[in-house]
């Protein structure tokens, strides 16, 4: 059974460029001693004001995905589908960067690829890397759904090979199937969905549940166009 290998890059490609703990770090000026207290006070206050709303900063970073260069969006989605985004978020926040939640970055990348009609892109890459039949890229998300909802999650990728769909992969496939299928809107509690998405992307839920959660996100995204 062939398994999807993890990419070397695990950092969130749209991580914030400012640190959340900046308010604990006063700048050190080597210039005029008389001006130093004033400059320090002004800049320190400004930095603290800029960091007063971490959630706002994270939302702005998520919005940026929708206008980011296509190659960065592709990189972000590949990190998500491999299940590496949660650890990337933990790593970046651990060194003080206000990177968005995994579910927010990953769904934004999916929405952007949906807008750019590139939802099938990672499946072509997956099949190429694993030696499968690239011609199956369009139908692979549906096959993942069928296998995770009613089977053991094993999916044929052609050329006599198969993979076991992971929860993050199933989440991505669910979104892709719903959006490309132009399905009716699926209501759901936003906080509950977000919590489930976080668990799916971290590989903490079964793949069938994750396909269903991604499906709801995809339906909502399509009907919000």
- In the predicted model, is pLDDT for residue 169 greater than 50? yes
Mean predicted lDDT score pLDDT of the chain? 83
Contacts of 174 (CB under 8 A, 6+ apart): 141, 145, 210, 211, 212, 213, 214, 215, 216, 217, 218
Estimate the crossing angle of helix 102-115 against helix 85-94, to 10 degrees: 130
Tell me the mean pLDDT in the region 118-131: 97
Q: Read off the pLDDT band of 19 (50, 70, 90).
A: very low
The whole-number pLDDT of residue 52 equals 56
Residue 6, pLDDT > 50, answer no
All structural domains of the chain with their residue ranges: 34-115, 121-223
Of the chain, the percentage scoring pLDDT greater than 90 comes to 65
Range name among 11-15, 102-106, 150-154 with the lowest pLDDT average: 11-15
The pairs formed by 137-146 with CB atoms below 8 angstroms and a separation of 24 or more are: 140/173, 141/172, 141/173, 141/174, 141/176, 141/177, 141/180, 142/173, 142/177, 144/169, 144/170, 144/173, 144/207, 144/211, 145/170, 145/173, 145/174, 145/177, 145/211, 145/215
User: Which one-letter DSSP state was computed for residue 89?
Assistant: H
What pLDDT is stored for residue 55 in this prediction? 82
The answer to whether the CB of 91 falls within 8 A of the CB of 10 is: yes
């Amino acid at each position: 059974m062939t398994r999807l290998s993890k990419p070397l890059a695990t950092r969130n490609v749209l991580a914030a460029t400012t640190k959340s703990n900046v308010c604990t770090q006063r700048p050190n000026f080597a210039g005029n001693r008389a001006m130093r207290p004033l400059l320090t006070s002004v800049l320190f206050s400004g930095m603290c004001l800029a960091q007063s709303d971490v959630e706002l900063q994270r939302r702005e970073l998520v919005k940026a995905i929708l206008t980011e260069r296509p190659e960065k969006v592709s990189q972000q989605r590949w990190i998500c589908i491999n299940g590496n985004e949660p650890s990337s978020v933990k790593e970046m926040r651990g060194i003080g960067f206000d990177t968005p939640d995994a579910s927010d970055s990953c769904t934004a990348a999916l929405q952007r690829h949906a807008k750019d009609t590139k939802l099938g892109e990672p499946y072509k890459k997956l099949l190429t890397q694993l030696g499968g039949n690239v011609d199956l890229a369009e139908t692979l998300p549906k096959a993942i759904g069928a296998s995770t909802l009613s089977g053991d999650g094993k999916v044929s990728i052609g050329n006599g090979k198969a993979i076991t769909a992971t929860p993050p992969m199933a989440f991505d496939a669910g979104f892709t199937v719903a959006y490309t299928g132009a399905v009716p809107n699926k209501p759901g509690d936003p906080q509950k969905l977000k919590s489930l998405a976080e668990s799916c992307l971290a590989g903490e839920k079964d793949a069938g549940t994750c396909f269903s959660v991604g499906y709801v996100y995809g339906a909502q995204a399509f009907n919000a166009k």
